[in-house]
Amino acid sequence: MEKLSSKIPFMTKQIGFIGLGRMGTPMAARLIDAGYPLIVYDVRKECVEALVAKGARAAVSPAAVASSVDTVLLSLPDPPIVRRVALGADGVIAGSKVRTMIDLSTTGATAAREIAAALAANGITAVDSPVSGGVAGAVKGTLAVMVACPKALYAELEPMLKHIGRVFFIGERPGMGQTMKLANNLLSATATAATAEAIVFGVKSGLDPAVMCDVINAGSGRNTASQDKFPNQVLTRQFNQGFATGLMYKDVRLCLEEAQALGVPMTVSTGVRALWARANEELGAGSDMTAIVQLLERATGVEVKSK
């Protein structure tokens, strides 16, 4: 342990981690395994306890985390929660030691910019660093990590972030990583919704969904839903990809709001948002995002499953 710690750059020697959910827990665990001493916080005690059992230290609030370490990572559900944890009375901003806050959550560029400005006024640099690749990617350390921050800081943080995935420098302006992430998730949301429609269309007319996936994956319709989500989560009726419908709906909504502010027309994506809004309402925000196919199953009376 001593030897490993001495190789770690000073800036990132001690790390705080707030938000130990489906993504946060495996990312934090990888950092512990890489030798980083971690101090953690989550409103859910059971998540904190699981990481303490792996060697992390627990803190009582985001401010307490930020009073113990110079670098704090966040992995939280949505912009209002990130804002509260970053800027609230007991938030990161109230910490006495913190210099850098790295947000791994998906919040959109507008929130990232607002939070960065408020933190900068208190001498804290915000890094937006949203991730893509799902729970499986978080466990394996194969996430796409989309970083926006000053270049010199990026050079300091990259060795640490490499433990959670492939790190991309997107730009220096706050929010650039978030814009990249929303573009990525708009495609993922669209592929999932469109694949649900295509597969239900085929099943309703008598095709086998497993054969359909094989053909699509050998052909030009191939995408992450046809390659992974449908064969592994829908056809098996597991619906356990690990990404909540509510979070996917949030990402699509944020993307369209930001596109509108930029004056970018989003014709296809407007329909995609409508389908995710229905999934969020009818299946529940906590349902797995792969359950979106059930909207079409209900409308058509078919079930997409392996024979």
For ligand NAD, the closer of residues 41 and 230 by Cβ is 41
For ligand NAD, the closer of residues 144 and 153 by Cβ is 144
Other CB atoms within 10 A of residue 283 CB: 19
CB of 111 to ligand NAD, least distance (A): 11
Bridge partner list, 146: 168
21 binds ligand NAD (CB under 6 A): yes
Element of type H or E holding 142: none
CA atoms within 13 A on the CB side of 241: 27
16 binds ligand NAD (CB under 6 A): no
Cα 299 off chain centre by:
30
Question: Of 16, 95, 108, 134, which lies in the binding site for ligand NAD, with binding defined by CB under 6 A?
Answer: 134
105 binds ligand NAD (CB under 6 A): yes
- Beta-carbon contacts of 79 under 8 Å, excluding residues fewer than 6 positions away, are 107, 108, 111, 254
Bridge partner list, 288: 244
CB of 6 to ligand NAD, least distance (A): 31
44 binds ligand NAD (CB under 6 A): yes
Is 181 noted as a catalytic residue in this protein? yes
132 binds ligand NAD (CB under 6 A): yes
**Which phi and psi angles does 22 have, rounded to 5°?**
-60, -40
Which of 3, 97, 181, 307 is flagged as catalytic? 181
Which part of the chain contacts ligand NAD (CB under 6 A), choosing from 38-46, 63-71, 121-129, 225-233? 38-46
Residues 53-82 that bind ligand NAD (CB under 6 A): 75-77, 81
Question: Of 135, 144, 153, 198, which lies in the binding site for ligand NAD, with binding defined by CB under 6 A?
Answer: 135
Residue pair 185/132 in contact by the 8 Å Cβ criterion = yes
- Per-residue H/E/C for 115-135: HHHHHHCCCCEEEECCEECHH
45 binds ligand NAD (CB under 6 A): no
**What's the full length of the chain, in residues?**
307
CB of 56 to ligand NAD, least distance (A): 14
- Beta-carbon contacts of 258 under 8 Å, excluding residues fewer than 6 positions away, are 108, 109, 110, 179, 182
29 binds ligand NAD (CB under 6 A): no
For ligand NAD, the closer of residues 44 and 305 by Cβ is 44
Q: How far is CA 121 from CA 84, 114, 197, in A?
A: 17, 11, 48
Closest to 179 (Cα-Cα) out of 106, 240, 102? 106
106 binds ligand NAD (CB under 6 A): yes
170 binds ligand NAD (CB under 6 A): no
**DSSP result, 225-259:** IIIIIIIIIITTT----S-BHHHHHHHHHHHHHHH
108 binds ligand NAD (CB under 6 A): no
Residue nearest to ligand NAD (CB): 21
Residues 218-257 that bind ligand NAD (CB under 6 A): 242-243, 247
110 binds ligand NAD (CB under 6 A): no
Residue pair 83/110 in contact by the 8 Å Cβ criterion = no
Catalytic residues: 181
Q: Under the rule (CB under 6 A), what is the footprint of ligand NAD?
A: 18-24, 41-44, 47, 75-77, 81, 84-85, 105-106, 131-132, 134-135, 242-243, 247
